[in-house]
Amino acid sequence: MAKLAGIRVNEFSIGMGPKLLQFGKKETKYSLRLLPIGGYCAMEGEDAESNDERAFNTRPVWKRILVVVMGAVMNILLGFVMMFILTAQTEYLASTTIAWFSESSPLQAAGAEIGDRFVKVDGYAVDTDRDLLFALSTADPSSVDIELERNGDRILLKDVAMLTQETEDGQKMLQLDFKVAALDKNFGTIFVKSAQDTVSTVRLVWYSLAGLVTGQFGLNDVAGPVGAASAIGQAASAGLESSFGDAVNNILYMMMIITVNLGIVNLLPLPALDGGRLVFLILEGIRRKPVNPKYEGWIHAAGFAILIAFMVLITFGDILRLATGKGIGG
């Protein structure tokens, strides 16, 4: 997008830190760096004044906005491609319509019927089976508010006490007492389902970030590169118990979650992130003049320092959790 906008790109790097290899003899150098914690597109005049006529700061505001948001957009599009690959391999495409109840099902006893479609769980909108599973997994199983659609009408089931099972650490986890109907499987439904599941993943990330702010989730629920690598390893091991293909698909699923997560987090309006740069560009568009580059630079530098400190803290928590089984704060 930078090149399409006529901006000179000095380096495009996958990864951060020390350089492992570099190629490209023209104006743009392409690099692979040691630390797999993102990457960057280094554009002329992005962080400092430049007299180059193709510098970032000489382009119209709308072109610079497109360039800034494109990184996040491509993260989400890559997530969609991964989701499409995974969805195409599944034997059945799950809907959100109830097709079966277990014996003595609490949900059925509360008034749900076969053919009902889930609309909301504890206020969380349900558009796909992934929404449904996420909403149920974060709900209090002893009291769940479930909104269904039946023949065009909405039905609210209040305070449903769902079945539970006890985990190894003694916690109660909701146990499903129903199954959903399968969708017809063809290219169109695979494409639509992949897009819906990608949107569901975006919503999941936003909901999780909001949960961190409101206190629903704590610092121990956040993982950095070490924690992510550990989770990927666990997913691969679980997949290998059945087949090598399942292990690959589990890794691909984790990669999909991470790439969508990166795209969303990068658009947060925080200094040093693309979302922070976007705020300054929007202000420039409104004011018809840029914010003083010196002040913007200070804000981004301070934001970057806070971001690195937070990453160190999260990484310490990851290592502590691997070593002791408990994160920061026990």
Question: ∠ CA(113), CA(115), CA(118), 5° rounding?
Answer: 85
C-beta separation of 303 from 272 below 8 A:
yes
Q: How confident is the model at residue 8 (pLDDT cuts 50, 70, 90)?
A: very high
Q: Which two structure tokens, joined as six digits, stand for 90?
A: 């599944």
The whole-angstrom separation of Cα 134 and Cα 132 is 6
Model confidence pLDDT, tens digit, residues 204-263: 888 888 777 777 776 677 777 777 777 778 777 877 777 888 888 888 988 898 889 888
Fold classified for 94-183: Pdz3 Domain (2.30.42)
- For residue 272, how far is the Cα from the chain centroid? 19
Model confidence pLDDT, tens digit, residues 157-181: 999 999 888 777 667 788 899 999 9
Model confidence pLDDT, tens digit, residues 76-103: 999 999 999 999 999 999 999 999 999 9
Q: How confident is the model at residue 328 (pLDDT cuts 50, 70, 90)?
A: low
What are the boundaries of each domain within the chain?
A: 1-59, 60-92+185-330, 94-183
The whole-angstrom separation of Cα 119 and Cα 150 is 10
What SS3 state is found at 90? Answer: coil
Amino acid (1-letter code) at residue 102: S
Residue 215 Cα distances to 6, 60, 105, 131, angstroms? 44, 41, 32, 21
Q: Report the residue count for the chain.
A: 330
The whole-angstrom separation of Cα 312 and Cα 318 is 10
Secondary structure E strands in the chain = 9-23, 29-43, 93-101, 117-121, 124-125, 144-150, 153-160, 164-166, 172-174, 178-183
